[in-house]
Amino acid sequence: RVPFSFPQAIMRGEDISKPVLQVINTRAIATGNGPPRYRVLMSDGVNTLSSFMLATQLNFLVEEERMSAQCICQVNKFIVNTLKDGRRVVILMDLDVLKTADKVGGNIGNPVPYNEGEWQQRPSAPAANPAPSKPQQQNSNLAVAGKSPAAAPKYHAPSNQFGKASAPSSVKTPGGSQAKVVPIASLNPYQSKWTICARVTQKGQIRTWSNSRGEGKLFSIELVDESGEIRATAFNDQADKFFPLIELNKVYYFTKGVLKTANKQYTAVKNDYEMTFTNETSVVPCDDAQHLPSVQFDFVSISDLENTPKDSIVDVIGICKSYEDVTKITRKANNREVSKRNVHLMDTSGKLVTATLWGSEAEQFDGSRQPVIAIKGARLSDFGGRSLSVLSSSTVVINPDSPEAFKLRGWYEFDSEGQLLECTSISDVRGGPASGVNTNWKTLFEAKSENLGQGDKADYFSCVGTVVHLRKENCMYQACPSQDCNKKVIDQQNGLYRCEKCDREFPNFKYRMMLLVTIADCLEYQWVTCFQESAEFILGQNAAFLGELKEKNEQAFEEVFQNANFNTYEFRIRVKLETYNDESRIKATAVDVKPVNYREYSKRLIASIRRNAQLG
pLDDT at 83: 64
| β-bridge partners, 471 | 516
**Residues 300 and 318: beta-carbon distance below 8 Å:** no
pLDDT at 345: 92
| % pLDDT > 70, the chain | 81
pLDDT at 160: 34
Please check the confidence at residue 7 and state whether its pLDDT lies above 80: no
Q: What is the pLDDT of residues 21-30, one digit of tens each?
A: 999 988 887 6
More confident call, 31 vs 246: 246
Lowest-pLDDT range of 53-62, 369-378, 582-591: 53-62
Specify the pairing of strand 47-54 against strand 112-113: parallel
pLDDT at 384: 64
Mean pLDDT of the 154-174 span = 40
**Distance between terminal CA atoms of the chain?**
80
| % pLDDT > 90, the chain | 18
Task: State which amino acid sits at residue 288.
Answer: D
Rounded to an integer, what distance in angstroms lies between the CA atom of residue 326 and that of residue 363? 6
User: How would DSSP label each residue in 392-441?
Assistant: TT-EEEES-SSHHHHHHHHHHHH-HHHHH---EESSSSBS---TT---SB
Mean pLDDT of the 237-253 span = 89
pLDDT at 140: 31
Lowest-pLDDT range of 140-144, 366-370, 438-442, 444-448: 140-144
pLDDT at 172: 55
- The number of CA neighbours under 13 Å toward the Cβ of 203 is 14
**Residues 260 and 274: beta-carbon distance below 8 Å:** yes
3-17: b (≥16 Cβ within 10 Å) or e:
ebbbbbbbbeeeebe
Please check the confidence at residue 522 and state whether its pLDDT lies above 50: yes
User: How much is the mean pLDDT over the chain?
Assistant: 79
pLDDT at 139: 34
* 263 band by pLDDT with thresholds 50, 70 and 90: confident
**Residues 546 and 560: beta-carbon distance below 8 Å:** yes
Rounded to an integer, what distance in angstroms lies between the CA atom of residue 7 and that of residue 41? 11
Rounded to an integer, what distance in angstroms lies between the CA atom of residue 467 and that of residue 518? 6
* 134 band by pLDDT with thresholds 50, 70 and 90: very low
pLDDT at 23: 92
Lowest-pLDDT range of 36-45, 290-299, 300-309: 290-299
Rounded to an integer, what distance in angstroms lies between the CA atom of residue 464 and that of residue 569? 6
CB atoms within 10 A of CB 613: 8
pLDDT at 33: 55
Please check the confidence at residue 129 and state whether its pLDDT lies above 60: no
* 51 band by pLDDT with thresholds 50, 70 and 90: confident
Rounded to an integer, what distance in angstroms lies between the CA atom of residue 45 and that of residue 71? 13
**Residues 246 and 283: beta-carbon distance below 8 Å:** yes
Please check the confidence at residue 312 and state whether its pLDDT lies above 50: yes
CB atoms within 10 A of CB 389: 17
Q: Is the dihedral of CA 37, 42, 48, 51 positive or negative?
A: negative
Mean pLDDT of the 215-237 span = 89
pLDDT at 517: 94
* Three-state helix/strand/coil letters over 226-256: CCCEEEEEEEHHHHHHHCCCCCCCCEEEEEC
In this prediction the pTM is 0.47
Indicate left, alpha or beta for 451 from its phi (over 0: left) and psi (-120 to 50: alpha): left
pLDDT at 153: 35
More confident call, 433 vs 95: 95
Q: What is the pLDDT of residues 464-499, one digit of tens each?
A: 999 999 998 888 888 998 887 888 889 888 889 999
Specify the pairing of strand 273-276 against strand 229-235: parallel
Q: What is the pLDDT of residues 526-559, one digit of tens each?
A: 999 999 899 999 999 988 899 888 888 888 999 9
Mean pLDDT of the 376-402 span = 84
pLDDT at 63: 86
* 333 band by pLDDT with thresholds 50, 70 and 90: low
